[in-house]
Amino acid sequence: MYAQMVKTAGTGVKTPDEMSDQERAFQARIDAGEKIEPRDWMPDDYRATLIRQIGQHAHSEIVGQLPEGNWITRAPTLERKAILLAKVQDEAGHGLYLYSACETLGVSRDELIEMLHAGKMKYSSIFNYPTLNWADIGAVGWLVDGAAIMNQVQLQKTSYGPYARAMVRICKEESFHQRQGYSIMMKMAFGNAAQKAMAQDALNRLWFPSLMMFGPPDKDSVHSTQSMAWRIKINTNDELRQRFVDQTMPQMKYLGLTCPDANVKWNEDKGGYDYSDPDWDEFFAVLRGNGPCNKDRMAARVKAWEDGEWVRDGLMAHAHKNKIKNAAQVAAE
């Protein structure tokens, strides 16, 4: 999940009696499955929560380019390089769709970026783990994009129109990402012993961080109820995590790789796999900024933003100059 632990604004779910007339009408529209559009009335807390959630989602797409960008220049073949480049370019696009959706709520993209850089907004914990070798690029596409799809598919039905529409576009493009990752995994898992060992090693390191993407267990997920009532969250963290494990295990079996969780076992009664929780202390530490790569990731983002400033300003100056020149030409004619 690219938006984890989004703090829901407000005081929790109100009963119809506690709601104002406007709030009641708003909730009724959501319950009827209507989409809320930018100029519609909405509670301030709904708006604030969406800005946090969509903003965090957008930041995740952008920061998520870094671990993969790391391997563009070192891809094993020209074809793999071109594919990875296209994938990373998609992530930039996804970030832009989401920033646009967020901007319809009355916050500017530059403000969002500056909040990220000031540490006031988060991005997904997963991107604070390193990509140490080429097999990691396979595992990231397979597992991380797989987990992202699991989250994003349900968000296509979210109540906020611009967010739902961004999700539809993103989901269309996302399955290419997962397949390119799985294709790398197949190549390595069916390669020589050393390649297979690399694939296994990548899976070992990325399995639990991928499970963390869905956020803390439901019992500790304090913000869910209101967000679910507003339909900006459709499924619980544990539901999505279970779905992810159930979908991934057969894919892992096909690769002939072993799950690093020794407790993974098919449970006939529930019709799903039993599995171990990731280390939640590690998860919270990573969110607090103490993951393996937090400092590198933020430093790279801030550097890109600051180094790009003269380009952004230069293009604005050029546009301004042309506007004046064109106006003068029109006046002279």
- List of residues contacting other proteins (CB under 8 A): 37, 39-41, 86, 89-90, 93, 96-97, 100, 103, 108-111, 114, 165-166, 169, 173, 312-313, 315-316, 318-319, 322-323
H or E element in which residue 274 lies: strand 272-274
Mutual orientation of helices 161-189 and 237-255 as an angle, nearest 10°? 30
Q: Least distance in Å: CB of 323 to other proteins? A: 8
Q: How would you class 307 by CB atoms within 10 Å of its CB: exposed for 0-12, middle for 13-18, buried for 19 or more?
A: exposed
Contact 297, 127 (CB under 8 A): yes
- Of 298, 288, 289, 292, nearest in space to 113 by CA: 298
Contact 108, 174 (CB under 8 A): no
Q: Least distance in Å: CB of 81 to other proteins? A: 17
Q: 101 or 286: whose CB is closer to other proteins? A: 101
CA distance 155 to 139: 24
CA distance 124 to 113: 15
Q: 12 or 119: whose CB is closer to other proteins? A: 119
Sign of CA dihedral 286, 95, 116, 48: negative
Q: Least distance in Å: CB of 41 to other proteins? A: 8
H or E element in which residue 7 lies: none
Q: Least distance in Å: CB of 229 to other proteins? A: 22
CA distance 94 to 61: 6
Q: Least distance in Å: CB of 8 to other proteins? A: 25
Q: Least distance in Å: CB of 9 to other proteins? A: 22
